[in-house]
Amino acid sequence: MTWQAMIQSVQNGWIVVSIDFLVSLKTPQTTINSLFPSAEIISILRLTESILMEENSLLEVEAPIKIIGDLHADFENLKTIFDLIGRVPKEKMMFLGNYVNMGASGIELVVLLFCLKIRYKDRIFLLKGNHETPAVYKGRNQGIKLSK
When pLDDT is averaged across residues 2-20 and rounded to a whole number, the result is: 63
- DSSP secondary structure of 31-46: -HHHHS-HHHHHHHHH
- Cα(100)–Cα(86) distance, integer angstroms: 22
Q: What is the pTM of this model?
A: 0.76
**Domains of the chain, each with CATH number or no CATH:** 3-140 (3.60.21.10)
pLDDT at residue 33 is higher than 70: no
Q: What is the pLDDT of residue 6?
A: 46
Active-site residue among 12, 127, 131, 145? 131
Identify the CA nearest to 40 among candidates 30, 50, 48, 51.
48
pLDDT in tens, 116-144: 999 999 999 998 766 555 555 555 554 55
72 part of the active site: no
